[in-house]
Homo-oligomer: A and B are copies of this chain.
Amino acid sequence: MKRGLVVGRYWSTRKVDSLPQGALLEVEFPDGSRLIAVDPLGCNEGESVLVAEGSVASHFFGEPFVVVDAVIVGSLDDKSA
């Protein structure tokens, strides 16, 4: 998985049916690269999250098939906690 920060939020009204509805979060990683991930947890901008990529991201949603290759799987605990 990759560790990154939620930096933005996108919507797609004109989309294929198998892309889930709702906000898509943009996550920035420490190397400056970014991904757009589906967020089943309700994360906020500035939150530190874990992103899983590839076919497991689609498998996570089970049936019916969703065309997703990146999903937020956890919010990271504060290190000082």
Contact = CB atoms under 8 A, between A and B. Distances in A.
B59 A16 contact: no
A37 interface: yes
Contacts of A18: 60, 73
Given A52-B69, A67-B60, A76 B2 contact: no
A6 to B, nearest CB: 13
Interface of A: 1-3, 10-16, 18-19, 24, 26, 30-37, 40-41, 50, 52-60, 65, 67-71, 73-77
25 contacts: A1-B24, A2-B36, A3-B34, A3-B36, A10-B50, A11-B76, A12-B50, A12-B73, A12-B75, A12-B76, A13-B75, A15-B41, A16-B40, A16-B73, A16-B74, A19-B50, A19-B52, A36-B50, A52-B69, A53-B69, A54-B55, A56-B58, A56-B67, A67-B71, A67-B73
